[in-house]
Structure 1
């Protein structure tokens, strides 16, 4: 499908219709600006979502016959669009060459969208600015190539955390066996263990169990196999002896690592295995050439401990005049507003967390059979506590 917007030619494609030259231009646009280096902005992530969820399209912006910008999106039957992977992706954007701009309403017409919803849009996408309803901190860690000696790196990077973390690691090694960290684990069984732990954590804490959705399980298993320059699925595991203690799966590009799913063996929660995992990942990622660890939007105590600075991401609804866009905003905006209000105020967030955990306890008690490993529960298990309990 082809449309015109001022001097910009817009064509619409399914992800599997994009040519090698399209992929090359998309990767070049990612490389041209650090704003677009996040692996969630890579065509490989878009293609994965389309393979397992479907309904994904890519608007390709051309100037003078050259592809200069790429907007991946999902579209439903009535023309409501959303950023690809909304609810899973921690970074969204129209990825483009420097200096490229566009008319947002013309873009929506070309995409046959009445509304385009986003919640982690890269700040600086000025054509979307009139449609942004909120801006939020996205903490990052600026990584440096560290020493081959992990304790030395930890004392230099996080002196306030080093003493207690190293003490817990020594205790874990004494109790279970020698500590071992694998940054890029290729064993699919370890990935299945991570998803089982994470699913149990979602249920304990009353959150939506993402891994109860087969398409998300299939997507994660698919992305685990992707090994490309701009997108590689990385599974990291902390072992004590031969026993996995904590695990994480997330994508990396050449320079940016995006933490995504972290979980741990709930029997070992008192060792703070999630925090150990994130510190080990940061050290290893820096040695592997990664420069930024983008922890994603969210007010969590552990992110404040580890961050070196913050990016900004935006949420909102780009619209053009249409009855569907008006109805969608009336339905979605109050829900978002309530969620953001609760998350922004500890006096509201803490009771909400307690309520969710109570619901999670009842749900787990009713569903968990005796002897199953995911029957363990801890009052410290909450998304608010971050990797200390994730």
Structure 2
């Protein structure tokens, strides 16, 4: 790959041969089975109004060796779907080197990443930290999961079963829809998520209308190769919990889970996760990726985890130092006994312009 040439191509200008290479490279690299690496995700983000450019790497004979979908913000590149992409990196064959430095130039001063898979060792010098991204192995459905889960995971799934029965007694018949097409329920997911952002002081991901449109477009995308998946859990007429994610093949990515705060005592999120785990064989899922995060339920539910990396590719030592300092401050704030009081500080640090 040392002689690989990179060319930035707008997503909607990729040739059929380049898209075909995308599918082929992804198919031979098991690390790229997340729906975030499917061209359908990049295409949906691009169509929703956030332009995507793909750095296409070609070898000496013109064969496509890599594709890296990104957004460009001034002189900074960020992986496709930023800031809502939980897995990032170039599309390339296993063990293939990547010409990271070739991304810089032509006005591009840096590539920033925060959920990079360890796909190519060439990124190692630019990594400032790594954090776990938990997942559930759902092979065999609930019974299979329970055979691999920690004691905490088993206990919480048992409690979810009992709370589901309680909800049915006290609220109304419990109804789970694994793959709903109800856009009204999708609107409720966005509404509840925005209320959660407001209550916690987090930046509102859906403040940009294009991101709401992205979810609608993904919901309308059907098929098992790539699709949006909306799952809902009702008790009577009450929406207890819902989740919107994306799937590709046997992988479901847990993206926007919500629950009704009025029924928080039932832990409806666990109820929903249990239902999805039970439905996994019928839906064709063998893994639910929960995404990077410090949520206690992720720690309890996981059967394994995938490391994702944070860092910045840049020739500017000052820019790298600022990024490293920012990550150190965020980590220190999160690890401090005063963590709850420092959450707003952490969120402000994450929004500092790099």
Cross-structure match for 2:103: 107
Cross-structure match for 1:385: none
Gaps of 5+ in 2: 347-354
User: Aligned pair 1:234/2:225, yes or no?
Assistant: no
Task: Give the RMSD, CA atoms, in angstroms.
Answer: 2.4
- Is the Cα contact below 8 Å between 2:254 and 2:288 reproduced in 1? yes
Aligned in 2, Cα 1:162/1:292: closer, same or farther, shift over 3 Å?
closer
User: Aligned pair 1:199/2:194, yes or no?
Assistant: yes
For residues 8-19 of structure 1, the aligned pairs below 5 Å read 8-19=4-15
Count how many residue pairs are aligned between Structure 1 and Structure 2.
342
- Distance in 2, Cα, partners of 1:177 & 1:165: 16
Cross-structure match for 1:65: 62
1:337 partner SS: helix
- Is the Cα contact below 8 Å between 1:256 and 1:290 reproduced in 2? yes
Superposition deviation, residue 296 in structure 1: 1.3
Q: Which of these residues, 336, 341, 347, is aligned with residue 351 of structure 1? A: 341
Cross-structure match for 2:351: none
- Distance in 2, Cα, partners of 1:214 & 1:234: 20
1:124-183: CA deviation from partner (whole Å, max 9, x where unpaired): 42111110000111111111123xxx6x67865653224322221111011121111111
Normalised TM-score (structure 1): 0.81
- Is the Cα contact below 8 Å between 1:246 and 1:264 reproduced in 2? yes
User: Aligned pair 1:29/2:19, yes or no?
Assistant: no
Aligned in 2, Cα 1:248/1:353: closer, same or farther, shift over 3 Å?
same
120-129 vs 274-283, greater mean Cα deviation:
274-283
User: Aligned pair 1:179/2:169, yes or no?
Assistant: no
Aligned in 2, Cα 1:271/1:124: closer, same or farther, shift over 3 Å?
same
Q: Which of these residues, 108, 120, 136, is aligned with residue 115 of structure 2? A: 120
1:276-302: CA deviation from partner (whole Å, max 9, x where unpaired): 112222222343222221111122211
Superposition deviation, residue 122 in structure 1: 0.2
Cross-structure match for 1:271: 266
2:337 partner SS: helix
1:212-263: CA deviation from partner (whole Å, max 9, x where unpaired): 2212212212222222544210000001123321110011110211101011
Cross-structure match for 1:222: 217
For residues 55-94 of structure 1, the aligned pairs below 5 Å read 55-63=51-59, 64-77=61-74, 79-94=75-90
1:304-324: CA deviation from partner (whole Å, max 9, x where unpaired): 1111111111010012x3xxx
- Distance in 2, Cα, partners of 1:280 & 1:129: 39
- Is the Cα contact below 8 Å between 1:145 and 1:289 reproduced in 2? no
Cross-structure match for 2:350: none
1:2-39: CA deviation from partner (whole Å, max 9, x where unpaired): xxx74223222101111222222212222212211111
Superposition deviation, residue 347 in structure 1: 1.1
1:312-354: CA deviation from partner (whole Å, max 9, x where unpaired): 11010012x3xxx4554455443332222222x1513233249
- Is the Cα contact below 8 Å between 1:144 and 1:287 reproduced in 2? no
Aligned in 2, Cα 1:162/1:37: closer, same or farther, shift over 3 Å?
closer
Aligned in 2, Cα 1:35/1:296: closer, same or farther, shift over 3 Å?
same
Aligned in 2, Cα 1:13/1:154: closer, same or farther, shift over 3 Å?
closer
